[in-house]
Chain A
Amino acid sequence: MTPELERALAPLRRRAYLDNALRWALVSLSCWAAATALVLAWSKLSPTGDTGVLAAILGVCALLGGAGGWVLRRPSTSEVARVADSRLDLKERLASAVFFAEAPRRVEHTGMHYRLQADAAQRALEHRPGEAFPLQRHSRRAFAAFASVAVLAALAFTPNPEAATLARRSADHAAIAKARRTVASAKREVGHQHGSEAAQAQDALKRALAELQRARTPLQALVALSALESKLASLPNFSSQQEAAAATAGAALAGAPGASKLAQDLMSGNLKAAAEDLRKLAQEIKKLGSGQQKALGKALQKAAEQAGARGASPQAGPGANPGASGSSASSQATTSPFANELSQAAQALKSGKAGQAGKYLGSAASGATASARAASLQQELAAAEAAVRNAQSEVAAQAQADSSGHGTKATKGAGKQGSRRGHGRGASSHFATGSGRGKSTRFGAVTGKGTGSGAGRGRGSGAGESRGGRGAGSGNGSGTRAGAGRPSSQVFVGGQPAGSQQVIGRHLARGYKVKTTNYQQVLPSFEKTALQGLGSQVVSPTDQNLVRDYFSSLGGAHRGSPATKKG
């Protein structure tokens, strides 16, 4: 290729690449805008989450497609020359010159091709590259891209009627995810502990976590949390009794010679320090005078009596074996081993056997150490239980918000946790209930169909006590929200027995094409779930009775349906 021809082709080639890039950019933009507009339009007809992510993915695809198209369809020099010939009316001079320059074997040595190249270069240089590849040629594509973007913008700024549903779904997912995190955290904490109680708790937490992973609705999560909460609550709890017994024993030992620190640690529930104190006292008991030994013996006897009275139940009191339970526990003596050790130490001191008393005190110290470990487990379990309860409250509130179709903000009104972590062993319930107005079917709470406004009130209280003190909390919350409800994917209608094809009581708005199901088909499972949920402390006793009465009142209806009888 002669330098003249190369000089003529270079700007044309650059311009062609630019032209090609603009072409693919416009095509990509049009495709992206059109596809995203379709996604947005669909999201306004059917609740679709993550439209932003979809738009971003489509954008990346369009970008890659455009870049790929630009690379793959980049015109060769020959194509550039042919297009330039066509648009500049060069009568195939340029393309012919390029052809014979690139295929020298085809050239007959007549010198004609040199003349051709010179002629082609001269003719091409008489024109600007923009004449061969004018931007105006892309006006249609630009218009299409502009129109697509305009439609997309219009859709983006149009209110989405599905926003309420999406928000509800998002809240559902957030509540379930939070509950899942809470349970996972509790599982981790409990995992550091050993013993059969810890194993049972671990097992329950693991099962609950698996169910929460599968849960798609707050109701499903609530069932899992309720079962977990029941399980945790059913685990034996000795630590509070042990701590109470230790506290009373400590009060009895207050003022006893050489036992002031022991008394203080026992009263504060610090069993680990108390065990150390007991060992120290056992070593130093011989150094006490006989009078002091007698006074100590009296104090120990009194402490033993009071600890025994307080921890009269099996396994109560420091030193009880926290791992024992069930029938083996019932076979133990009714007084606690800790009280027994103290009592025997007191008897030994009374009879002047300081060495023997020291041994008993050492045994009591070992028991206190074991109790300290048990107390630690109990604290973890208590913390886990409190966390589960908290999660349960939030999920319950979300489930209620979903079912009512109104904007109940239960979490806003959640009461403050009864005490700081590990102390909230006491009862604590806090969730807001909402009541709304609006049209709904009989099971409008389930379908969530309805328009109007709702208001929710929350009441929460918690109380607990621990060695550090007592904690109590209460909270009030309320939330209101107005907006149109949106039916879930399944609508339950009443009035007809199962198996009937006729469906009455339909209150769906026009345009909703969702599956309708006779409520009697699902009522038994509803009742089962509701009654299971009653086992938790989320529902107050008054409300529990209401629920039971409600299902009892329905019992005749749904149990007597043909479908049920048939089954």
Chain B
Amino acid sequence: MHHDNRHTDNGHPDNGHTDNGHPGNGHPGNGHPDNGHAQAHVGANWPMTPETFAEVAAGIQDELAKLIVGQVELVHDTLVALLAGGHVLLEGVPGLGKTSLVRGFGRVLDLGFSRVQFTPDLMPADVTGTTVITEDEVGRHFDFQAGPVFANLVLADEVNRATPKVQSALLEAMQERTVTVGGTTRRLPEPFFVLATQNPIELEGTYPLPEAQLDRFLFKLSVPYPSPAELAEIARRTTGASEPELVPVAGGADVRAMSALVRSVPVADHVLDYAVRLVSATQPGLSPLPELPAYVRFGASPRAVHALVLAAKVRALFAGRYNVAFEDVSGSAHQALRHRLLLNFEAEADGVTSDALVGRLLEAVVPDPVAAGR
């Protein structure tokens, strides 16, 4: 009855179909989707080294730039989250290219893509899939019909419009990377990346994500409004005779290899200490900022350190380095911390945003006290 609520962006209500024209990727119903291995040759970037990592990452961004006008930071941060193995919550008004971004990633990375439009009447099974009775020559039997979550890249559009029950189903899949239906647990494809969006306006009738579920997103990114020059470029590209054709730069295997390489980047203790101090400083009782306790009810959870360090490792490799620097940590602080600070009414009344507080924290927490002391 709500088949229009969950569809891929190619217009087919079939959950298994992706827009890359390779229905085999994430083929629904087989229960063992392996979308990556078929495209492992796409990038031909084996073995993955820091140099090839930087090269592939730059290629992905360059290719996406053909489709996405501006939004360089957004693309960069989304790619960071993808390679760090995390999920992203995008916040921005409609029409800013969120869907194009995810679709572009799907094409450039040659990954399976699906999109779910969240509405209040959406059911969990519409996301995860369900067991249906099918009849063939053998007879009637139950088959699992996979939901849109069984894709490499999932766009959960306006995630705050669905009921908490549906939100929980999606977020559990994000966390566990498995789906259990009818007593059977099925693994989600690797890589698995959810890009959820929410609209900061028209909040009536929405179900804001609880803090515990927000915490499962690696990054929360704000989609900025394009500049006039970018708007003009968007108009030129979208009103012309042809749309830009994206070429796959890497495949699922490449992404997995890149993610594995990310984990091998060493982090020295003094850099790790900076990340820890930064996260600890968000706690009202431990913050060096005197005004923070007045505005923050709860600081960032330990997942914030995990997010900061993983993102910093990706940024280090992007920069062609073999180590994590302080600027890698601080460079991801806004994205990793802004949705993890639970502000109180005082902050809302004073117009204090979590981004402003994180900015103040970055000024207050000295990256390297030893170097600063000498």
Among B228-277, those with CB < 8 Å from A are: 264-271
Cβ distance B55 to chain A, nearest Cβ, rounded Å: 15
A95 interface residue per 8 A CB criterion? yes
User: Which stretch of A78-86, A236-244, A357-365 is in the interface?
Assistant: A78-86
B127 interface residue per 8 A CB criterion? no
Q: CA of A119 to CA of B368 in the docked complex: distance in angstroms?
A: 21
Q: CA of A86 to CA of B269 in the docked complex: distance in angstroms?
A: 16
Chain A at the B interface: SS class: helix
Once the chains bind, are A75 and B319 in contact (CB under 8 Å)? no
Cβ distance B3 to chain A, nearest Cβ, rounded Å: 47
How does the 8 Å CB contact mask read for A85-99 relative to B, with 1 for contact and 0 for none? 111000111011101
Chain A residues with CB under 8 A of B327: 91
Chain A residues with CB under 8 A of B324: 92, 96
Cβ distance A26 to chain B, nearest Cβ, rounded Å: 14
A44 interface residue per 8 A CB criterion? no
Counting residue pairs across A and B whose Cβ atoms lie within 8 Å, the total is: 66
Once the chains bind, are A97 and B368 in contact (CB under 8 Å)? no
Q: CA of A481 to CA of B270 in the docked complex: distance in angstroms?
A: 72
Q: CA of A107 to CA of B269 in the docked complex: distance in angstroms?
A: 12
Among B336-374, those with CB < 8 Å from A are: 368, 370-372, 374
Q: CA of A97 to CA of B321 in the docked complex: distance in angstroms?
A: 12
Chain B residues with CB under 8 A of A100: 266, 268
Measured CB to CB, the nearest residue on chain A to B271 is A92
Q: CA of A167 to CA of B35 in the docked complex: distance in angstroms?
A: 101
Measured CB to CB, the nearest residue on chain B to A111 is B264
A115 interface residue per 8 A CB criterion? yes
A116 interface residue per 8 A CB criterion? yes
Once the chains bind, are A116 and B266 in contact (CB under 8 Å)? yes
Cβ distance B172 to chain A, nearest Cβ, rounded Å: 31
Q: CA of A95 to CA of B50 in the docked complex: distance in angstroms?
A: 19
B370 CB contact (under 8 Å) in A82, A96, A115? A82
Measured CB to CB, the nearest residue on chain B to A120 is B323
Q: CA of A338 to CA of B53 in the docked complex: distance in angstroms?
A: 130
Chain A residues with CB under 8 A of B298: none
Once the chains bind, are B374 and A97 in contact (CB under 8 Å)? no
Chain B at the A interface: SS class: loop
Once the chains bind, are A91 and B374 in contact (CB under 8 Å)? no
Once the chains bind, are B371 and A99 in contact (CB under 8 Å)? no
A420 interface residue per 8 A CB criterion? no
A83 CB contact (under 8 Å) in B267, B268, B374? B374
Measured CB to CB, the nearest residue on chain B to A73 is B374
Instruction: Give the one of A79, A96, A110, A113 with max B CB within 10 A.
Output: A96
A85-B264 contact given A91-B327, A92-B326, A96-B324, CB 8 Å threshold:
no
A108 interface residue per 8 A CB criterion? yes
How does the 8 Å CB contact mask read for A322-366 relative to B, with 1 for contact and 0 for none? 000000000000000000000000000000000000000000000
Once the chains bind, are B374 and A113 in contact (CB under 8 Å)? no
Among A41-80, those with CB < 8 Å from B are: 75, 79
Chain A residues with CB under 8 A of B319: 91
A112 interface residue per 8 A CB criterion? yes
Measured CB to CB, the nearest residue on chain B to A19 is B374
Measured CB to CB, the nearest residue on chain B to A119 is B322
Cβ distance B134 to chain A, nearest Cβ, rounded Å: 47
B325 interface residue per 8 A CB criterion? yes
Once the chains bind, are A99 and B268 in contact (CB under 8 Å)? yes
Chain A residues with CB under 8 A of B264: 108, 110, 112
Once the chains bind, are A112 and B268 in contact (CB under 8 Å)? no
Chain A residues with CB under 8 A of B269: 99
Once the chains bind, are B371 and A115 in contact (CB under 8 Å)? no
Once the chains bind, are A93 and B368 in contact (CB under 8 Å)? no
Chain B residues with CB under 8 A of A106: 266
Once the chains bind, are A115 and B50 in contact (CB under 8 Å)? yes
Chain B residues with CB under 8 A of A107: 266
B374 CB contact (under 8 Å) in A79, A92, A110, A119? A79
Once the chains bind, are B371 and A97 in contact (CB under 8 Å)? no
Measured CB to CB, the nearest residue on chain A to B326 is A92
Q: CA of A79 to CA of B325 in the docked complex: distance in angstroms?
A: 16
B268 CB contact (under 8 Å) in A86, A87, A96, A108? A96
Cβ distance B365 to chain A, nearest Cβ, rounded Å: 15
Among A116-151, those with CB < 8 Å from B are: 116, 119-120
Once the chains bind, are A119 and B370 in contact (CB under 8 Å)? no
Once the chains bind, are B374 and A96 in contact (CB under 8 Å)? no
Q: CA of A85 to CA of B367 in the docked complex: distance in angstroms?
A: 12
Once the chains bind, are A92 and B266 in contact (CB under 8 Å)? no
Once the chains bind, are B371 and A112 in contact (CB under 8 Å)? no
Chain A residues with CB under 8 A of B270: 82, 92, 95, 99
Once the chains bind, are A91 and B370 in contact (CB under 8 Å)? no
Chain B residues with CB under 8 A of A82: 270, 368, 370-371
A112 CB contact (under 8 Å) in B265, B325, B368? B265
Once the chains bind, are A112 and B322 in contact (CB under 8 Å)? yes
Chain B residues with CB under 8 A of A120: 323
Once the chains bind, are A93 and B323 in contact (CB under 8 Å)? yes
Once the chains bind, are A108 and B266 in contact (CB under 8 Å)? yes
Once the chains bind, are B322 and A115 in contact (CB under 8 Å)? yes
Cβ distance B371 to chain A, nearest Cβ, rounded Å: 4
Instruction: Give the one of B265, B266, B268, B368 with max A CB within 10 A.
Output: B268
Q: CA of A545 to CA of B188 in the docked complex: distance in angstroms?
A: 126
Measured CB to CB, the nearest residue on chain B to A92 is B325
Q: CA of A113 to CA of B374 in the docked complex: distance in angstroms?
A: 27
B368 CB contact (under 8 Å) in A86, A113, A115? A86
Q: CA of A87 to CA of B323 in the docked complex: distance in angstroms?
A: 17
Once the chains bind, are B371 and A96 in contact (CB under 8 Å)? no
Chain A residues with CB under 8 A of B323: 91-93, 96-97, 116, 120
27 A-B pairs whose Cβ atoms sit less than 8 Å apart in the complex: A79-B374, A82-B371, A85-B368, A85-B371, A86-B368, A87-B371, A91-B319, A92-B324, A92-B325, A93-B322, A95-B270, A96-B268, A96-B323, A96-B324, A97-B323, A99-B269, A99-B270, A106-B266, A108-B264, A110-B264, A112-B264, A112-B322, A116-B266, A116-B322, A116-B323, A119-B321, A119-B322
Report the 10 A-B pairs with minimum CB-CB distance, sorted nearest first. Answer: A86-B371, A96-B323, A91-B325, A110-B264, A99-B268, A116-B322, A96-B268, A92-B325, A115-B322, A82-B371
Since A85-B371, A96-B267, A112-B264 are in contact, a sample of 19 more A-B pairs with Cβ atoms closer than 8 Å, ordered by chain A residue number, is A82-B270, A82-B370, A82-B371, A83-B370, A91-B319, A92-B268, A92-B270, A93-B322, A95-B270, A99-B270, A100-B268, A106-B266, A108-B266, A112-B50, A113-B322, A115-B322, A116-B266, A116-B323, A119-B321
Q: Please report B residues at the A interface, Cβ cutoff 8 Å.
A: 50, 264-271, 319, 321-327, 368, 370-372, 374
